[in-house]
A and B are shown apart, each in its own frame.
Chain A
Amino acid sequence: MNWTWFHRLASPPYIFALARRLTPWFGWTSGLLIAAGLYGGLVLAPPDYQQGDGFRIIYVHAPSAWMSLMVYTTMAVAAAIGLIWRIKVAHAVAASCAPIGASFTFAALATGSLWGAPMWGTWWEWDPRLTSELILLFLYLGYMGLRGSIEDTQRADRASAVLAVVGIVNVPIIHYSVTWWNSLHQAPSVMRLGKPAMPVAMLVPLLIMLLAFTLFFVAVLLVRLRGEILSRERAASWIGEALGS
């Protein structure tokens, strides 16, 4: 079994150079897809039978919620890898994820609230999905707060990694909360086994937006990752060369 690809992935200079090369691809592609998704969702998709044009919030709310969960999972997996195999790059990835995830969790809560106000008649409900999404935001903030409070980078990496791994239990709770409990929030119509329950014209822009935001996450992650790697590689010889370009 050829493990060189794995070792290369753990090498900071390799990842730094790779991140630099890949960022424009992910960035521009996600930008185009977001534009396409916006056009499809705001213009092309027909109004909903029950919610009229109000349902169009889904094209920003669902991707934000998807981001909040996906980014946290990435963060926790990277943190676990960093803890178990003591790989600095993995810790750098986890650190890069947190601000991205926190901002989209906030967006998910805010857009969800704006969607719920006209549809459910309330700006907020302490129901399982909303509450556990709020818990997720606190987890992100706690993660970033813990990192900020510990001066030594290595200790900060490892302590926050433990926190990230412990908090992963929240992710399945959020996703399955609408099926396990009676919730105001609707049951999953896309992320579930079997065919999605939406008509195609509505579904396609949504899928485009989900993909677009995922690619956007990778782009932003790669940018942040470079900064994180730089701050961890204090005096490495490759930095001078990398900065020169």
Chain B
Amino acid sequence: MSNVTAVTGEPAALAGEEGRGPPAPASMLDAARLVLLRDLKLAFRRRGQLVQPLAFFAMVTTLFPLAVSPELSRLREVAPGVLWVAALLASLLALEFLFRDDAHDGTLEQYSLSGQPLTWLMLAKTVTHWLLTGAPLALMAPLAALSLGAPGASVPGIVICVAVGTVALSLIGSIGAALTLGIRRSGVLLALLTLPLSLPVLIFGARATELAIRGSAYGAPLELLAAMAILGITLAPLAAAAGVRISLE
């Protein structure tokens, strides 16, 4: 993978840039950017895999009216909870792809051996995860909410709440993904590890969304969500990097 060598600084010809000679070792920010672009490029090559978590989200939110009750008044009550549980599950689904392939082909090992701080690269991978899951979910959530009886005016609020909350979810999930690298059939274990830490996000996210749907002020829980996201940005990549190093030992 051409971008990997740019990150690690090894002398090699970049695809399409033969004749330029060995690239200089990338700066921290450049390395992170390269990892991000590489992951996005790879993800878009496997569009089927990309869509799976989003399709899952759509399915779950569609199943609830069928299982609970088609009455919009009743659905409006459960809509926040449904949205968030579905978002959490979809995020978990996508987590498996976050590190697995790179662990298999040795790319993660290259990252850890490169001079770049592994923490930054983990943050880059987590940002990718959010761009591919959280951001689309934040855009899909209002549609799901509308189908569950939410008023149109609540759409901006829902987008913001889900966007911020899924940032926290991606960060928390990256820790579990890093710790369960290489464990066969780790899906359930990953969920078991991620769930306790993401319950606060779930609780406050649902609360914020509920307030948004009702038309009340949702600033307080949203601020807590943001605080969790910020705490996650500072701490989660550290823990994820530690987890990756341990898994690669």
What is A's interface to B at a CB cutoff of 8 Å? 83, 126, 131, 135-136, 138-139, 141-142, 145-146, 149-150, 154-155, 158-159, 162-163, 165-167, 170, 173
CA distance A141 to B189 in the complex (A): 10
> How far, in angstroms, from A211 to B243 measured CA to CA in the complex?
36
Looking at the assembled complex, report how far the CB atom of B230 sits from the nearest CB atom of chain A, in whole angstroms.
Answer: 14
**Which of the candidate stretches B135-143, B162-170, B191-199 sits at the interface with the other chain?**
B191-199
CB distance from A138 to the nearest CB of B (A): 4
B180 adjacent to chain A (CB < 8 Å): yes
Answer whether residue B183 sits at the interface, using C-beta atoms and an 8 A cutoff.
yes
Contact of B180 among A126, A149, A170 (CB under 8 A): A149
The closest CB in chain B to the CB of A154 belongs to B249
Instruction: Tell me whether A150 and B183 are in contact in the complex, defined as CB-CB below 8 angstroms, given that A159-B243, A159-B246, A166-B175 are known contacts.
Output: yes
- B95 sits at the interface (CB 8 A): no
CA distance A69 to B133 in the complex (A): 35
Contacting pair B193 A142 (CB below 8 A)? yes
Q: Which residues of B lie under 8 Å from residue A136 when comparing CB positions?
A: 196
A83: nearest chain-B partner, CB-CB: B242
Q: Shortest CB–CB separation between residue B143 and chain A, in angstroms?
A: 27
Q: Which residue of A lies closest to B191 (CB)?
A: A142
In the complex, chain A residues whose CB is within 8 Å of the CB of B247: 155, 159
Binding site for A on B (CB under 8 A): 175, 179-180, 183, 186, 189, 192-193, 195-197, 199-200, 203, 235, 239, 242-243, 246-247, 249
| B189, B192, B242, B246 — most chain A CB neighbours (10 Å) | B246
Asked whether A167 and B196 contact (CB < 8 A) given A146-B179, A159-B243, A162-B239, the answer is yes
Which residue of B183, B195, B242, B246 contacts A149 across the interface (Cβ within 8 Å)?
B183
Which residues on B sit within 8 Å (CB–CB) of A138? 192, 195-196
CB < 8 Å A-B pair total: 61
- Chain A contacts for B242, CB-based, 8 A: 83, 162
Complex Cα distance A170/B195, Å? 13
Q: Tell me, in angstroms, the Cα distance from A198 to B222 when the chains sit together.
A: 38
B99 to chain A, nearest CB (A): 14
Expressed in whole angstroms, the Cα–Cα distance for A163 and B177 within the complex equals 11
B179, B189, B200, B235, most chain A CB atoms within 10 A: B179
Give 8 nearest A-B pairs by CB, closest first. A138-B196, A158-B246, A135-B196, A142-B193, A142-B192, A139-B196, A149-B183, A159-B179
Cβ A146 vs Cβ B193 within 8 A:
yes
* B186 proximity list for chain A (CB < 8 A): 149
A155 to B183 alpha-carbon distance, docked (Å) = 11
Partner of A166, one of B180, B192, B197, B200: B197
Q: How far is the CB of A176 from chain B (nearest CB, A)?
A: 13
Contact between B180 and A146, CB atoms less than 8 A apart: yes
- Whole-angstrom distance from the CB of A104 to the nearest CB of chain B? 17
- Which residues of A lie under 8 Å from residue B179 when comparing CB positions? 146, 159, 162-163
Q: How far is the CA of A136 from the CA of B199 in the complex (A)?
A: 11
Assembly CA distance A146 to B181 (angstroms): 11
Contact A166 B239 (CB under 8 A): yes
Q: Can you spell out 28 A-B residue pairs with CB atoms less than 8 angstroms apart? A: A83-B242, A126-B203, A136-B196, A138-B192, A139-B196, A141-B192, A142-B192, A142-B193, A142-B195, A142-B196, A145-B193, A146-B179, A146-B193, A149-B189, A150-B183, A155-B246, A159-B179, A162-B179, A162-B239, A162-B242, A162-B243, A163-B175, A163-B179, A165-B239, A166-B175, A166-B197, A166-B239, A170-B197
Bound Cα distance A131, B199 (Å):
9
Residue of B nearest to A157 (CB): B246
Instruction: Tell me if B192 and A145 are in contact (CB < 8 A).
Output: yes
Given contacts A135-B200, A159-B179, 8 further A-B contacts (CB under 8 A): A139-B196, A141-B192, A145-B192, A149-B180, A155-B246, A162-B242, A166-B175, A170-B197
